Structure 1
Amino acid sequence: MDFRSAVSNKSFMVVAYLILGVFISCSHTITGAGAIGVCNGGIADNLPSEQEVVDLYTSNGIGKMRIYDPNQATLQALRGTNIELILGVPNADLQSVATASAANDWVQKNVVAFSPDVKFRYVAVGNEVKPTDEAAQFVLPAMMNIYNVLVSAKLDGQMKVSTSVDTTLLGISYPPSAGSFSAGASSYITPIINFLASTGAPLLANIYTYFAYISDPNTIDLSYALFTAQGTVVQDGAIGYQNLFDATLDAFYSAVETVGGANVEIVVSESGWPSAGETAATVDNASTYYKNLVDHVNKGTPKRPGKPIETYLFAMFDENQKGPAETERHFGLFSPNKQPKYKIGFS
């Protein structure tokens, strides 16, 4: 999460979510399958060593990891494991990597030096870069440069190059079939989608129903955000939606299709619910969300039923230096002492 410095930063996203639609104890076991990974954030000063973290992934049967920068100790610890990795290019490095020589150096140091011992799945070039950000102009050139280096190294068949976006890029999200990017985002994201289509790479999207709910709990029902609604909440032609996650993801699919990405898949590169910090941020709600999300991903969405949704839970640990919202310090599936908040089975 880049993140969400305050709820006010989500105002545009909230409008889209609001239109979309009007518990389980800590001991509940969450079961899942190969579509699930976990993001490994590190904005904290009390986390286990990188080797301990990788060992914790392995011992819990977590087969996919996302990291946000090329942490060398983490990459070393991943050698010889079967954990598939999303490796991030930090936003601060985009301008540099937009030059061919720097991109080559970056890939040689952080990918080639560890391949094939580390199972790279995606290189995420930037996280939640907004069209108005200074870094926006560098995202696509950096993606292209990294892709070209991977082609030269004959590694392009082993991993894909993408970028991770958030829902603020959506201008229309209701009904999901009419989803489209905003006018301000279209000129930024359309060439990126075209690049993804040409290289067979997915778009990475961070989807949080939690932020929509806390922004207006009187309009968005908690059950719609937690996958617990008993019936259809949003009717979109012949398709009915029972949860906000599906509605948002399908709106993304519609938006991607309208700009030439009919064959571009979407990977949910972050999704989670905090366990403290707000009224709705409780262990019960977080447990319910994660349990239902993990149970749901192999079913697909109404727009693409039966097609598993590759999804990365945010995040492995509580991060005590996140902020400013208190909730941002409580997204962990585990506490820094490696004790689980919830019993989660991934295999």
Structure 2
Amino acid sequence: MSAILVFLLLGILSSITAAESIGVCYGVLGDSLPSKQEVVDLYESNGIGKMRIYFPEADTLEALKGSGIELIMDVARESLQSLTDQNAAMDWVNTNVVPYAQEVNIKYISVGNEIRADYNEAQYILPAMTNIHNAISSVNLQGQIKVSTAIDSTLISNSYPPNDGVFNSESYIKPIVEFLKNTGAPLLANIYPYFAYIGDKENIPLEYALFTQQGENSVGYQNLFDAMLDSVYAALEKAGAGDVEIVVSESGWPSAGGDGASAENAATYYANLIAHAKSGSGTPKRPGGSIETYLFAMFDESNKQGEESEKHFGLFTPDKSPKYQLSFN
């Protein structure tokens, strides 16, 4: 076998591995968490090929060097306003991207996480995205790193049936998705069947949310995850951006702290989501292909604000023991 053929086969195998890889979000709002290097080692030992971090942190980026782990790196919320200045965006990229880009597999920059149209920060999202993209392009990394933002389901109205999904804040979101279309970047979307389920238990069966329902419902869906994801695709189509892909940048189920929150339900959800995302079946609206998905989250975050359930989404305990028996890849 020629050296060229071996090289090509290795490249194909590498791309298959990357396509099937499941990501896990790395939140740090917990007590007694392992060191950054231990966390990266934990990702590697479990075959977790993708990570999301919620702000650039030098120790984490140093630990990721040479790992090959694909990275979503968020812009910290408090930095959004400053990045409406092009020079500040260039400084941000020179500090947080350029020193690591050759050894860390930075794939996406998320400019904002779940910033809704009525938030003060909403006015900064598109200018900051544009400036970060320009800065990335100025150092010739636009082919490696795409700039996006992560939305939640509150931006979608008429989500059932999924084909009726539409953005409810078009003046805010349409210029953003136009930017994504023009730059070839995906939309990042946080998809949580858990929150949809607890918000409407009368109409949403638990089995439908946990991927355990037998057979399709009246509109052709067997699970809530696909229905929620396809409602975002429908909204993109209505906004003239039907060719923009979606990366599921968060999805999870809590093990305690709320209705339907139990270790059994969480284990069922995560195992079934991993299998579904990797299966190649896609969704009814986008059949075929794996669904690039990031599970939330690596550890329970005992210091997180909000509902008690927010503290119990972890897949591992601080001593690195798995809470569930999951096969990531």
Report the TM-score, using the length of structure 1 for normalisation.
0.87
Offset, 1:324: 2.5
Q: Does 1:332 align with 2:314?
A: yes
Change (3 A) 1:306 1:186: same
Q: Does 1:196 align with 2:176?
A: no
* Separation of aligned partners in 2, 1:132 and 1:35: 35
Offset, 1:346: 2.1
Partner of 2:302: 320
Letter matched to residue 156 of structure 1: Q
Change (3 A) 1:216 1:179: closer
Partner of 2:112: 126
> Are the counterparts in 1 of residues 190 and 249 from structure 2 also a CA contact under 8 Å?
yes
Aligned residues: CA RMSD: 1.2
* Equivalent position SS for 1:65: strand
* Separation of aligned partners in 1, 2:303 and 2:188: 25
Q: Does 1:82 align with 2:82?
A: no
* Separation of aligned partners in 2, 1:88 and 1:165: 13
* Separation of aligned partners in 2, 1:150 and 1:139: 16
Offset, 1:279: 3.7
> Are the counterparts in 1 of residues 248 and 291 from structure 2 also a CA contact under 8 Å?
yes
Q: Percent identity?
A: 59
1:129-182 CA distances to partner (integer Å, 9 max, x unpaired)? 010111101000000001011111000000100000000001221211121111
> Are the counterparts in 2 of residues 33 and 346 from structure 1 also a CA contact under 8 Å?
no
Partner of 2:274: 294
Offset, 1:325: 1.3
Partner of 1:213: 197
Offset, 1:33: 7.2
* Equivalent position SS for 1:204: strand
Q: After superposition, where does 1:187-266 map in structure 2 within 5 Å?
A: 187-235=171-219, 240-266=220-246
Letter matched to residue 288 of structure 1: T
- The total of aligned residue pairs comes to 310
1:179 pairs with one of 159, 165, 169: 165
Q: Does 1:272 align with 2:256?
A: no
* Separation of aligned partners in 1, 2:145 and 2:218: 36
Partner of 2:12: none
Partner of 1:308: 290
The answer for unaligned runs of 5 or more in structure 2 is 1-17
Offset, 1:84: 0.5
* Separation of aligned partners in 2, 1:33 and 1:318: 27
Report the TM-score, using the length of structure 2 for normalisation.
0.92
Letter matched to residue 92 of structure 2: W
Task: Compare relative contact order (CA 8 Å, sep 6+) and give the higher one, 1 or 2.
Answer: 1
> Are the counterparts in 1 of residues 19 and 290 from structure 2 also a CA contact under 8 Å?
no
The answer for unaligned runs of 5 or more in structure 1 is 1-31
* Separation of aligned partners in 2, 1:94 and 1:119: 23
1:109 pairs with one of 95, 98, 107: 95
